[in-house]
Structure 1
Amino acid sequence: MPLHVSQPPAPALRSVLAALGSPAVREAHTPALRSVQGPLSPELPLPVHVLDVRDQAVAAVGAPRTRLTGWRFLIRGGDRAVAAGDTMLTPDGWAFSHFFEGPYLTSTERALRQAEAMQTAYQPRLLSIPDLYMLTLWLHGDTEADPSVGTPAPADLLVPLAPAPPGIAAHFPHRVADLLPVLSLRLVPPPLLGSTA
């Protein structure tokens, strides 16, 4: 089933296109981006949401809370993605943030290919869990949903990207209802030991 990739806000796309045509490309800490001969194009825009698992651990009942923090574009040079470009929401609207490369770039591409081969259609998003230094491909079941809002539904899938935290299998799709409780437990502080006096 094809993924239903969402349209990014036009100002977010324009900010990445402007950055690609500016000295920011030559100044970026991305050797692969600087070395590409030929045109660069932003593709596969993914909304980036942040989840604070600590909020989930102390919350009584309810859907996990997320907030949109940006849009990530895979930057294609030739036949492959060579970098990613992030945008962020500022008080003045969408603005370019930075270019980067590294393991999450190839991991994101791999997870998207896996999702394309699934039998169910999904809307792809990225879900960051900063407290665990974890990034996942969030496969949202409502393909027509507004990509800038929403929370992970219990039946949605989370695909941890490599490098994943110890004990969490990268590139293995987990139902939200199965993975979030495990992540919440990792952030609960251990009980204090009593004194031995």
Structure 2
Amino acid sequence: MPLHVPQAPAPALRSVLTALGSPTAVREARTPSLLTAQGPVTPEQPLPVHVLDSVSAQGVPATRLAGWRFLIRAGDRAVAAAETRLTPDGWAFSHFFEGPYIRSTELALQQAETLTQPYQPRLLSVPGLYMLTLWLHGDCTADGATGAPAATDLLVPLAPAPPGIAASRPHRVAELLPVLTLRAAPASPTPPTPLLGSPA
């Protein structure tokens, strides 16, 4: 079942196209794969990037839109990504980058295409764990720039994932979110004293 990729704001796409057409912007990006790409490069797969700010005591996540990310394709593969951000004057190009998340995003999208249920792909950043996930939202008609993960949505941790969390495996939000919340919680300043006779 094909993914229903949300439509990025036209000014965000224009800002990326303008940056790609600027030798100065590409050179200053210092992304070797973009500098050495053969043939035309095109921005594809626009994904809204949401940040997980908090989770309520009832387990309800609060997220905010941080920008739109485009995979930059050269030939048959993504070689870099472009990030846009919202400014007081509207959507603007932020930066180019490359690294392991480019390939893992591409692989996760390919895997998601094989699922039987249709989804709207997004990215969800978990800053407390330095973690990025592909968020597969069940409501394909929703505005990609708004909303929070539903319990039945899927999260696919992208490689590199934090230790103990399997990358490239889809997890239901209801199952993974409590784990992420627990892992991201600040450690207590002093560990509780174990009771006598209990395992330490």
Both structures adopt the same fold (TM-score exceeding 0.5): yes
Alignment partner of 1:147: what SS?
coil
8 A contact 2:16–2:82 mirrored in 1? yes
Q: Distance in 1 between matches of 2:28 and 2:187?
A: 44
TM-score with structure 2 setting the length: 0.92
Unaligned segments of structure 1, at least 5 residues: none
1:137 match:
134
> Does the 8 Å CA contact 2:119/2:136 hold for their aligned counterparts?
yes
Alignment match, 2:197: none
Tell which has more relative contact order, 1 or 2 (C-alpha 8 A, sep 6+): 1
Q: Does 1:31 align with 2:28?
A: no
Q: Which residue of 2 aligns with 1:166?
A: 163
Q: How far 1:125 moved relative to its partner?
A: 0.1
Equivalent of residue 188 in structure 1, options 163, 185, 189: 185
Match of 1:121 in 2: 118
Aligned residue for 2:123, secondary structure, equals strand
State the alpha-carbon separation in 2 of the partners of residues 73 and 164 from structure 1.
21
Q: State percent identity of aligned pairs.
A: 72
CA deviation map 1:105-156 (0-9, x unaligned)? 0000000000001111000000000110000000000000000000000000
Q: Distance in 2 between matches of 1:157 and 1:37?
A: 36
Give the counterpart of 1:108 among 92, 96, 105. Answer: 105
- The one-letter code matched in structure 1 to 2:7 is Q
Calculate the TM-score normalised by the size of structure 1. Answer: 0.94
Name structure 2 gaps, 5 residues minimum.
Answer: 194-200
Cα distance in 1 for residues equivalent to 2:149 and 2:143: 13
- Alpha-carbon offset, residue 28 of structure 1: 1.3
Structure 2 counterpart SS, 1:47: strand
2:6 maps to which residue?
A: 6
Q: 1:77 deviation in Å? A: 1.1
- RMSD in angstroms over aligned alpha carbons? 1.3
Match of 1:48 in 2: 49
- Give the number of equivalent residue pairs: 191
Q: Separation in 1 of the partners of 2:59 and 2:157? A: 23
- How many angstroms apart in 2 are the aligned matches of 1:8 and 1:100? 19
Letter in 2 for 1:107: S
Kindly provide the CA deviation profile for residues 136-178 of structure 1, in whole angstroms up to 9, marking residues without a partner as x.
Answer: 0000000000000000000000000000000000000000000
CA drift of 1:78 comes to: 1.5
Deviation at 1:194? 6.4
